[in-house]
Chains A and B, each alone.
Chain A
Amino acid sequence: NAGVTQTPKFRVLKTGQSMTLLCAQDMNHEYMYWYRQDPGMGLRLIHYSVGEGTTAKGEVPDGYNVSRLKKQNFLLGLESAAPSQTSVYFCASKTTGNTEAFFGQGTRLTVV
Chain B
Amino acid sequence: AQKVTQAQTEISVVEKEDVTLDCVYETRDTTYYLFWYKQPPSGELVFLIRRNSFDEQNEISGRYSWNFQKSTSSFNFTITASQVVDSAVYFCALSGSIYNFNKFYFGSGTKLNVKP
Give chain B's interface residue range (CB within 8 Å of chain A).
Answer: 20 to 34
8 nearest CB pairs, A to B: A103-B45, A42-B106, A42-B108, A43-B106, A98-B33, A100-B47, A105-B44, A106-B43
Complex Cα distance, B87 from A88, in Å, reads 20
Complex Cα distance, B23 from A60, in Å, reads 23
A-contact bits for B45-58, CB 8 A (1 contact / 0 none): 10100101000000
Q: Determine whether the beta carbon of B108 is less than 8 Å from that of A98.
A: no
Specify which chain A residues have a CB less than 8 angstroms from the CB of B95 in the assembled complex. 98
Specify which chain A residues have a CB less than 8 angstroms from the CB of B4 in the assembled complex. 42
Q: Nearest Cβ distance between residue A84 and chain B, in whole angstroms?
A: 18
Q: Determine whether the beta carbon of A106 is less than 8 Å from that of B101.
A: no
Specify which chain A residues have a CB less than 8 angstroms from the CB of B31 in the assembled complex. 98
- Whether, in the assembled complex, A74 has its beta carbon less than 8 Å from a beta carbon of chain B, the answer is no
Please list the residues of chain B having a beta carbon within 8 angstroms of any beta carbon in chain A.
4, 6, 9, 31-33, 35, 37, 43-45, 47, 50, 52, 91, 95, 98, 101-109
User: Out of A42, A56, A94, which one reaches B102, CB within 8 Å?
Assistant: A94
B-contact bits for A28-44, CB 8 A (1 contact / 0 none): 00010101000011111
Q: Determine whether the beta carbon of A97 is less than 8 Å from that of B98.
A: yes
Q: Determine whether the beta carbon of B108 is less than 8 Å from that of A33.
A: no
Complex Cα distance, B44 from A88, in Å, reads 11
Given A88-B43, A106-B44, is A101 in contact with B109 using a C-beta cutoff of 8 Å?
no
Specify which chain A residues have a CB less than 8 angstroms from the CB of B52 in the assembled complex. 98
Interface set, chain A 47-103, CB cutoff 8 A to B: 48, 50, 56, 58, 88, 90, 92, 94, 96-103
Q: Determine whether the beta carbon of B103 is less than 8 Å from that of A90.
A: no
- Whether, in the assembled complex, A45 has its beta carbon less than 8 Å from a beta carbon of chain B, the answer is yes
8 A-B residue pairs with Cβ-Cβ distance under 8 Å, sorted by A, are: A90-B45, A98-B98, A100-B35, A101-B47, A101-B104, A103-B37, A103-B44, A105-B43
Specify which chain A residues have a CB less than 8 angstroms from the CB of B108 in the assembled complex. 40-42
